[in-house]
Amino acid sequence: MVFLKKLKMELAWAARGFAAAGAEPRLEVLLGLVRAGPQGLTVGEIQERLNMPASTLAHHLRFLKSASLIEQEKYGRTVINRARFDYIEDLAQFLLKECCTESASLYKKTA
C-alpha cells in the first residue's frame, strides 16, 4: 500500500513537471534558460530572444515556476530566471529508471 501511494505521488510530481514543459512556447522558454546556463536570463533577454509579448512570457514563466522547472531571483527591479537543473535531471531520471525494465524481465523468462 505504501509503495502504491509513493508511486502515485511520483506520478503526480512528474506529470506536473512534464505538463508545464509540454506546451511549445513554455518548452522554448525552458530551453532558452537551459542554454543560458546557471547565470540565467532576465525577462527582457528572454523576451528579446523569443520575440514574445511580455504578458505571454509572464504567463509561461509563472507556469514553469509553479511546476518548479525554473527559479526566479529578484535584484532590484530585475528578475533573473534560471532553469532548475536538479529538477529537470530528476524528471529525466524518472523516465530513464524505467528503461527496458519489462524487456529485461521478458528476456529472463525465455532464457
Tell me the residue ranges of DSSP E strands in 25-83: 41-42, 70-75, 78-83
**Cell numbers found for residue 19:** 505538463
Contact between 28 and 50 under an 8 Å Cβ cutoff? The reply is yes
pLDDT, one tens digit per residue, over 33-50 is: 999 999 999 999 999 999
Q: Which amino acid is at 99?
A: C
Range of 4-8, 11-15, 66-70 with top mean pLDDT: 66-70
Handedness of CA 45, 48, 49, 55 (dihedral sign): positive
pTM score above 0.85? no
